[in-house]
Chains A and B, each alone.
Chain A
């Protein structure tokens, strides 16, 4: 399938994430855009750079009990717990729709063990219509897997290698910010063969209900997202982009074209929009339009001129 716009079309927003070519650098972050169909009546999906669907595990997951979300200043905490239909139902129920979209579909995968990551990758390798995989090694809301892989460079590298061995498409690894050295994590997955890295996932946080003197979330802790985390994400993207050779995808509190452009200047080749999808379902499309206007207004040949162009 050819995703690329007419090259003569102006402004030129195309970016390359390794062998994956996107018509523009705006993707929807996993877990914030369902399986895309939820948004079809509101968003022109074909205008997006790519769609990343909700994380899929080998077996269905029930997720955490309520209460799962709470708003915090300029952000939200969630402890959904990776509720998903499992890879078999994903293939039979979600892929027929997804593979007909004229936009790259990136499937976010997760597991409890290295073996599970390998198995789900093998299963998806047989399926047509998947442009890339995003390996989630960074969910803070599950007891096993997630965090352990996302905070230990050796484990992160092992998972990456296992997925790469059997993957049929490019592999992006999504990093956790809940580490003391994000650069070490990025280098580890690069060494493991990752084609790109995306960061950041949510920051571990907590909220307390003073009336009940209990944690607000049933899971006690959750992942913080939204504008509140943008400065942390921007800093980490900047540090990682300066340290690895593979493309970096910026995520964290992006809710405008200006936010996206900051990440691109900091070194991101592309961005993902997450929590903002909940507030304005059309935000991803609006960010694409805003980036295009910026490229045009500043007489740039292409958005690619801005990647890592930050003057420090």
Chain B
């Protein structure tokens, strides 16, 4: 896969909640090659502190040469990105990693928790473009509270797929965890679960799928320096022993390839 380093102009800045931001960037080369589940590495400043790029999943890639990222302010890097303005440029490197492998003929279950919702919008869009019967597909989203999910719900609704939302505190949708929505009755064993979210959630999703023999692809996060297999900093335990590297072996893995330490 070709990788590109682009000076991407910020086209749109959306403060979706007090803590979350969505940036739309003009990055035509990256947008052209991006697939759901790919990520980009972005420099949050031009100086030496913060030093490293930050990885972000591609929230959407639009045919007009734009990509979007969706993030929560968690540290200095995201804090700087949350202070950017339309018209500024960011140094963006990507698309990177292995994305979701869309099984076009099989029912799709998109399961997102918290910021893990981010790459699923792009995935939902591409699944809808497969042109098959979508009636058995489902989108299941969870967050801590209203702010985590509500701003993105209209974007997910545009695809017309059945959508269920839960929040930890019940402030939007039903109260509960997104894993509560996984129901053995409704998940067709021939389907594919595509998940992204915090590790405990993914571990539960992986266990649910393993118990029922349902294919499961998970997108996971890791600290990383380069994003391209050079630093070897983003190792995770593999189920078969040894390590896998999130940047080049993932970030999307078959759930059974990972050792879930919980």
Q: Which residues of A contact B (CB under 8 A)?
A: 31-34, 38-39, 41-42, 62-63, 65-71, 73-76, 78, 80, 83, 226-227, 255, 275, 277-282
Q: Given A71-B51, A279-B51, are A38 and B233 also a contact pair (CB < 8 Å)?
A: no
| Pairwise interchain contact A227-B231, C-beta atoms closer than 8 A | no
- Say what secondary structure dominates the interface of chain B: loop
| Pairwise interchain contact A66-B222, C-beta atoms closer than 8 A | yes
B39 to chain A, nearest CB (A): 15
Interface string of B115-142 (1 = CB under 8 A from A): 0000000000000000000000000000
A1 to chain B, nearest CB (A): 25
A125 CA / B105 CA spacing, docked (Å): 54
B252 to chain A, nearest CB (A): 18
Partner among B43, B91, B225, B230 whose Cβ is within 8 Å of the Cβ of A38: B230
| A contact residues around B5 at 8 Å (CB) | 42, 280-282
B93 within 8 A of A: yes
| Pairwise interchain contact B232-A226, C-beta atoms closer than 8 A | no
Partner among A34, A68, A71 whose Cβ is within 8 Å of the Cβ of B230: A34
| A contact residues around B237 at 8 Å (CB) | 65-66
A74 CA / B47 CA spacing, docked (Å): 9
B209 to chain A, nearest CB (A): 23
| Pairwise interchain contact B229-A34, C-beta atoms closer than 8 A | yes
Q: Given A66-B222, A67-B223, are A74 and B48 also a contact pair (CB < 8 Å)?
A: yes
| B contact residues around A71 at 8 Å (CB) | 50-52
B181 within 8 A of A: no
Q: Which residues of B contact A (CB under 8 A)?
A: 2-3, 5, 43, 48-53, 91, 93, 222-226, 228-237, 242-243
Would you mind naming 12 contact pairs between A and B with Cβ atoms under 8 Å apart? A31-B231, A66-B237, A68-B232, A69-B223, A69-B231, A76-B51, A78-B233, A80-B232, A83-B232, A226-B51, A278-B52, A281-B228
| A contact residues around B224 at 8 Å (CB) | 69
| Pairwise interchain contact A41-B226, C-beta atoms closer than 8 A | no
A83 CA / B5 CA spacing, docked (Å): 27
| Pairwise interchain contact A277-B51, C-beta atoms closer than 8 A | no
Sorted nearest first, the 3 A-B pairs with minimum C-beta distance are A69-B233, A278-B226, A278-B225
| A contact residues around B49 at 8 Å (CB) | 73-74
A89 CA / B53 CA spacing, docked (Å): 31
| Pairwise interchain contact B93-A76, C-beta atoms closer than 8 A | no
B238 to chain A, nearest CB (A): 11
A71 CA / B78 CA spacing, docked (Å): 14
Q: Given A38-B229, A78-B233, A227-B51, are A70 and B223 also a contact pair (CB < 8 Å)?
A: yes
